[in-house]
Each structure stands twice: as C-alpha cells, then as structure tokens.
Structure 1
C-alpha cells in the first residue's frame, strides 16, 4: 500500500502533495480501496501522518455518535482516552502501544463503514476550511486535548444514551483539527458544555431515582 504519510521533499513537484493537504475522505477512500486483506489501526496512523491525532479521534469517536450495540463505547472509548491524554500533554507525535496498533478489521467491513460515512464527511469538508487559527495552534490543541480527555472518560461511563453527545463533540473537535478549522473547534467547545450539562442532568436524575427507590425499602426493613 502506498505510504500516505511520507513527506514531500522541499522542491518536489506539486503532484506529490503531502498527506496533510488531502481531505479526510480522500485518505479514507485510499485505505478502503487498498489491496491488503485487513485495515489496522497502525495503517490508519501511518496514512494520516501529521494529522493522526484528529484522524484517529474521528475514527474512534464517530461510531459512538451513532446507535451501536451496548458495550461498544467501552471498547472504542479506551483508545480515545489514550489518544486524548497525549494530545492534552502536548506530545508532538502520537504513540500507540502495539496491542492497539495491531487491532484491525476486514477490508470489506472497513469499506462498508467508509461507504456509509464518506458522503457525510465530504459534505462537511465542503464547509470546513482553515480559519480562526487561534483555535488551532499547538497551545489551543492542548486545551482541545483536555476537553476531549474529559469527554472520552464520560464516553466510557455506563450511562444510557450518554455516549452519543460526547462522541459527536469529539468528532467535531477532530474535524476541526484535521481541517484546521476554528469554527469546528468552537462547535466542539459548545458540545463540551452541552455534554457536561447532560451528564450532570442524567446523574442527578439517576441519583434521585435510586434515592426514591431505596428510601421505602430502607423503611420497610427499619433502617
């Protein structure tokens, strides 16, 4: 498979553009249409090169923003915690342990997933563009990483329907990082506030429900 993460020499011709100038959907299609039997996390990491943080955040967060079987958020949320922590502390190059990079899926399954999300990604790419650079600087990325780290922890909590808002918010942050779009980053910050508010509301409701159930039981047993 062509190494999409290779860097272009200083005087290389324009047709050898580096991967950071290619849209997410273009790189995603290249991975889906490759000739290898399986697509691993490591191959995704290599394909996106300098944009690996944003790309892998999107890859792991986007499925959680959709209706998925119970337990999916716990499986996909764990790598997100690992990735967002490195983004938060300002690590320049994303590192993942071998047990994560070796995880893979059949290319047919990856292509099916790509076919489903590619139209949406392409629509978003037409709206996204480099702007409001103050929100996409290395310092700003640390704050983005901190927000995504908190969201990824919320994502792993066993809260009914509580994984979709933080997953969608991480996806917004990821798209903003990939396309250097401060507007998308701003949407991510708005989503962070909404996700935290939803978590507080759900926690309060669950606590009240447990309390209302436990109180008569305790009276019944004279506690």
Structure 2
C-alpha cells in the first residue's frame, strides 16, 4: 500500500509527513494541490522543517509556486515550487523536482536574501486552494502566472501577517494579496504612514 493512501485526517497526514516526507510519493499527474492527502502548505512545512534542522544558519523567508504551462486560473497547475532561505550573507534555494513532494538538493547564491521580508512561519495556516477561492469570491477571476508567499516588512498595525501574492496576467490589477490571518483580499499592501481606504484598493 502506498504511503498516504487512505489518510483520513490532517492529523494522520502530519504523522505520515513526520515519519517520511519523500518515500513512495506519486507523480504530479496523480497528486495535485487539490488532493486532501497532501496540500501545499503541509508539503512545504515538512521540507522547511527538514531544511532548518540540517542547516542551522538558514531562516525561512519566502516560497514561490509557478504554473508549468503558463497563466492559469487553477492552483492545481502551480506545480513548480521553490523555497527561499536566508543563509549567512547569501540565499539558499530549495526547489521541488518533477515529482510532487520530492526536492532537489539546496542551491546557494551569494546574492543577498530579500531584505524586505520578515521571517516566514514554517507552517502557513491557509492553503493556496483556499486563497484562490477567496480571490475568486472577491471578483478576481482572471489567470495568474505565479503565487508568492511572504511576510513583507513595513506593514501597518493590523496588517502584519504573511500574504499570498497572486501575480495576475493581463488586465489590472497586477497583484492580488490574501492575508493568511485575516483572510482579506487586497490589491495593494499599505505601508506604515500610508493611508489606504478599504474601498478601491481592498476588497472584503
């Protein structure tokens, strides 16, 4: 019986991920982001925890998911996943291979990590499938090229949280943000000292 078969709850999924995060995983054709057996945030969490154990100098900063076939309205097709860590004075990248849940060895760059990002929690409480539902419910139904997950610095009180950033294709807006904690959908992230009303630039 393959690993992750007949997983009946998120707790049992976490137990499986704790024991083994890379054995007997199915291909992308068989397991997608929509599968309740292995959601993106749990897949990322398992790998981030492993990296942080192996690389004590690493700090989780951002992760990115991209469509392998171009702009899409379906998060199931965002199968190209990359994790970014600050490590020393440079940046460490960990990328998923063509097999869902199987990761390549880390790559290092002397380029500095994104200084505008806070430390990202290892586990993101909201999965990308739900974030996609929120932007569609808010009226943003157009295709997107990629989604970044990060916690920007310089946000005003009450908006300090990680965000899903959908990089939209075609018509404006260019970006649609979803707050992981408050579930608000916005087209602009205000900065400290900036006044932004919740109409026009944000949508509930």
Smaller-chain TM-score range?
0.3 to 0.5
Higher strand share: 2
Higher relative contact order (Cα pairs below 8 Å, separated by 6+ residues): 1
TM-score scaled by length of structure 1: 0.33
Higher helix share: 1
Rg larger for: 1
TM-score scaled by length of structure 2: 0.35
